[in-house]
Copies of this chain bind each other. A is one copy, B any other.
Amino acid sequence: MKLYESPSPNARRVHIFMAEKGIECERIAVDIRAAENLSAEYLAKNPGGRVPMLELEDGTFIGESVAICRYLESLQPESPLFGESGIEAAKVEMWQRRAELNFLLEVAGAFRNITGFFKDRETCVAEWGQVCAERAPKMLSMFDEQLSQTAYLAGDTFSIADITLAVALDFARMVKVVALPELPNIERWYGEVSARSSFGAN
């Protein structure tokens, strides 16, 4: 099994997930600044041109971080990170999607459109970046409210939703395009999840 990757919040999500599961595999660096992910060779493996991507022993390529994590969960189902019962799985999916669509993607939208990081390959609209930068922090109160009632985002158990939100917060702090409010329940929760040994994985 080989993980094709480049430093990014998505790679970090997969690293943390692998560490939680005690799974290791060969890593292959993809230089996205040099657009290696857009080469014909890479696109034949992963037509979206995204990283990370997982190559399985049978030659199957799995793109999309969450799809990679779901495959890893099937290899090592113990301590489930996608929920176990139908209702748990639905709650994890709900909070994972909220963390990703309503926060991580907004931070990424702000970063890409404000800084023009990928302006050699995409049209950037600074005004849209500002819209994303204003929306992202507003969504945090939803997570803070949830974390005033539960230990982790999807309930009593640590899940992929926590990985996504914590990684997104670290990314937001690093790229500095979004003003992050201090929210007490997120702070309590972030202290706990970021202290897990998996969060040091790289």
Chain A interface residue count, CB cutoff 8 Å, equals 35
Partner of A142, one of B47, B73, B97: B47
How many copies altogether?
A: 2
Q: How far is the CA of A187 from the CA of B157 in the complex (A)?
A: 44
B127 touches A62 (CB 8 A): no
Quick one: closest B residue to A143, CB to CB? B47
Within A53-76, the residues touching B (CB, 8 Å) are: 56, 60, 62-64, 66-68, 70-71, 73-75
Among A24-32, A84-92, A165-173, A193-201, the stretch that binds chain B is A84-92
Question: Does any Cβ of B come within 8 Å of A151's Cβ?
Answer: no
B48 touches A71 (CB 8 A): no
B75 touches A90 (CB 8 A): no
**Chain A residues packing against B (C-beta within 8 Å):** 47-48, 56, 60, 62-64, 66-68, 70-71, 73-75, 85-87, 89-91, 93-94, 97-98, 102, 123, 125, 127-128, 131, 134, 142, 145-146
A-B contact list, 17 entries, CB within 8 Å? A47-B142, A47-B145, A56-B87, A60-B91, A62-B91, A63-B98, A68-B90, A70-B90, A70-B93, A73-B86, A75-B86, A123-B131, A125-B125, A125-B131, A127-B127, A127-B128, A128-B131
